[in-house]
Amino acid sequence: MEHMRIKSNDRYAQRVKTYLCLLMHVSLYSLFFIPLVSCGRQAQEAVIAEDSLVWYPGRTFNYKLKFNDLQSKQHAVASAIGLPRPPKNRADAASMRKQLVEIKTTDNYIVDSLTHSVPYLIPSAKRELDAIGAEWADILSRNELPHYRFYVTSVLRTQEDIRFLQRSGNVNSVTQSCHCYGTTFDLAYMRYDKVTRTRDYMHEDNLKLVLGQVLLNHQRAGRIFVKYEAKQSCFHITVRQ
Nearest to 234 by CA among 185, 198, 180, 193: 185
Residues 127 and 39 in one domain: no
Residues 147 and 199 in one domain: yes
Nearest-5° angle of CA 42, CA 44, CA 48?
A: 115
pLDDT tens digits, the chain, 241 residues: what are they? 444 343 444 554 455 454 444 444 434 333 333 333 333 334 444 443 447 999 999 999 999 999 999 999 999 999 999 999 999 999 999 999 999 999 999 999 999 999 889 999 999 999 999 999 999 999 999 999 999 999 999 999 999 988 888 776 554 455 678 999 999 999 999 999 999 988 999 999 999 999 999 999 999 999 999 999 999 999 999 999 9
Question: Cα(28)–Cα(209) distance, rounded to whole angstroms?
Answer: 55
Give the range of the structural domain holding residue 39, as residue numbers without chain letter: 1-50
Residues 72 and 105 in one domain: yes
Can you give the pTM of this predicted structure? 0.77
Residues 201 and 223 in one domain: yes
CATH of the domain at 182: 3.30.1380
Residues 44 and 75 in one domain: no
Question: Cα(115)–Cα(27) distance, rounded to whole angstroms?
Answer: 64
Residues 62 and 40 in one domain: no
Question: Number of structural domains, the chain?
Answer: 2
